[in-house]
Amino acid sequence: MFHSTIGRVDGADTFLYSADCNGPDYFAIPKGDSKVWRKWQRFFDKLPAEKNLVLQITFEGKSEVATSGLFGSLDGWARAEITFSKILSITNVTGTASGVLSDDETAKPEVERIEGLRATMRGFLGSLYVPSNTSKDILDYLTNDFHFIDLDGKSFTREEYPTVNAPWADLSSKFRESRMSWELKSKTSQAMTWRGTVVINVTDGPAKTYYCDLTFILKDGKWMIREARMSTLR
């Protein structure tokens, strides 16, 4: 694969790519034990500074391609990560016939699909604070057969969701601050389940923790929410 020596503006990460899969959907963040890189430090020290070089690297390692998350800094931007176990050779091929530059402007539908899933999840969890203020953008990512199950086990349809009370409505007078996070629980090529965690800090007692399991399905090229189920049990 090829290695770009210039960090991306939106991530500051260097990346790997190949001539056959050259585009943002296929860029890979290189990782490796410091000992792996140290053997090649003299090679890097001799390279011209501040120049967009193309290095051809032959290596042994393990790759991971994301379907539900992204690698890299600034909340992720790359679909893949490659961990080097051994670097066999590095050749400066800048300006040669084999020195293929990275095609940064190529379409990236897979990355955008993952970014959309993440934005939808963040937006829906945020809507739990005040369901009546749920934006049209978030509602458009709920399937027609979507249903929301509240803490009492009552089910609400897509149209009814904005009318429900916030899961922690009884804490509104004691609310101090909150934070949310999420983790992937299961996935297939067409569906996945994420668990959202919302922690509410109150003024007169211990924090309250709530969970919301979101079931996504892939429909017409985008991830949409089919079910949201609230609970207070891990």
Distance, in Å, from the CA atom of 38 to the CA atom of 48, rounded to the nearest integer, reads 18
pTM for the whole thing? 0.83
Q: Which residue has the tokens 């609400």?
A: 156
Contact 16, 8 (CB under 8 A): no
pLDDT in single tens digits along all 234 residues of the chain: 888 666 665 656 888 999 888 999 999 998 888 888 888 989 988 888 767 789 999 999 999 998 888 998 877 889 999 999 999 999 999 989 989 888 989 999 999 999 999 999 999 999 999 999 999 999 999 999 999 999 999 999 999 999 999 988 888 778 888 899 999 999 998 999 999 999 999 888 899 999 999 999 999 888 999 999 999 987
Q: Please, what sign has the CA dihedral across residues 98, 102, 106, 109? A: positive
Walk me through the domains of the chain, giving residue ranges and CATH numbers: 2-107 (no CATH), 110-231 (3.10.450.50)
Selection from 78, 69, 60 nearest residue 7 by Cα: 78
Number of CB atoms found within 10 A of residue 83's CB: 15
pLDDT for 197: 96
pLDDT at residue 12, rounded to an integer: 65
**pLDDT score for 162:** 96
